[in-house]
């Protein structure tokens, strides 16, 4: 079956042709029949719009899921990169998880990893000055500890899962635990 592309999404040719036919019908109605629209005309237009909407919804849903997946991978890459930078600047020690957050990543630290006010005594960081990024699927930025890596199940919190011993992090989301 032939398909056409609309905003980067493939549409079946029958839908595209149906839209063209509806437009042609409306144009011919306006040009050759200067009468008002009838109930039949209105029903035809509503039916065409309903079919178009029914076809467009899965396409838009798929595009939304792709956007969330891209944002998830970008946020995960940012988290992992900043954790690795922290480890490199702190003798290979990963940042400590405290109350669902990383104070050592969101604030300045000294070489021993002690957080403090930015300055000469605390020259390192902040690694995540805007805070921990959200998991775009859940909107949650809380980090939950996990005892095993890779985790065997999501915690249900919906943010991120962090393995303290190794400094590894994954999304707290079924289907993404091995990302």
pLDDT score recorded for residue 13: 56
Is the distance from CB of 104 to CB of 113 less than 8 angstroms? Answer: yes
Q: What's residue 86's pLDDT?
A: 96
What's the predicted TM-score (pTM) here? 0.70
Question: Does residue 154 have a pLDDT over 90?
Answer: yes
Confidence at 103, pLDDT banded by 50, 70, 90: very high
The per-residue pLDDT for range 22-45, each reduced to its tens digit, is: 667 666 666 555 557 778 777 888
Number of alpha carbons in the 13 Å side-chain half-sphere of residue 143:
24
pLDDT tops 70 at residue 11: no
Digit-coded pLDDT (tens) for 45-70: 888 888 878 877 887 777 788 899 99
Q: State the average pLDDT over residues 104-113.
A: 95
Task: Flag the least confident range among 44-48, 128-132, 158-162.
Answer: 44-48
Domain boundaries, the chain: 66-171
What length does the chain have? 179
- Burial classification of residue 134, based on how many CB atoms lie within 10 Å of its CB (0-12 exposed, 13-18 middle, 19 or more buried): middle
> Is residue 132 over pLDDT 50?
yes
Q: Could you tell me what percent of the chain has a pLDDT over 70?
A: 79
């Amino acid at each position: 079956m032939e398909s056409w592309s609309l905003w980067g999404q493939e549409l079946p040719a029958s839908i595209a042709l149906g839209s063209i036919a509806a437009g042609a019908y409306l144009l011919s109605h306006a040009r050759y029949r200067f009468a008002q629209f009838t109930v039949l005309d209105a029903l035809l237009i509503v039916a065409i719009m309903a079919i178009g909407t029914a076809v467009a919804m899965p396409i838009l849903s798929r595009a939304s899921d792709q956007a969330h997946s891209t944002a998830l991978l970008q946020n995960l890459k940012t988290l992992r990169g900043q954790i690795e930078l922290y480890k490199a600047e702190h003798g290979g020690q990963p940042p400590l998880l405290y109350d669902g957050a990383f104070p050592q990543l969101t604030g300045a630290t000294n070489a021993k990893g002690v957080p403090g006010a930015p300055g000469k005594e605390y020259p390192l960081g902040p690694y995540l000055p805007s805070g921990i990024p959200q998991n775009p699927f859940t909107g949650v930025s809380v980090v939950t500890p996990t005892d095993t890596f890779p985790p065997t199940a999501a915690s249900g919190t919906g943010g991120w899962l962090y393995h303290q011993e190794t400094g590894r992090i994954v999304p707290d989301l079924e289907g993404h635990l091995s990302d």
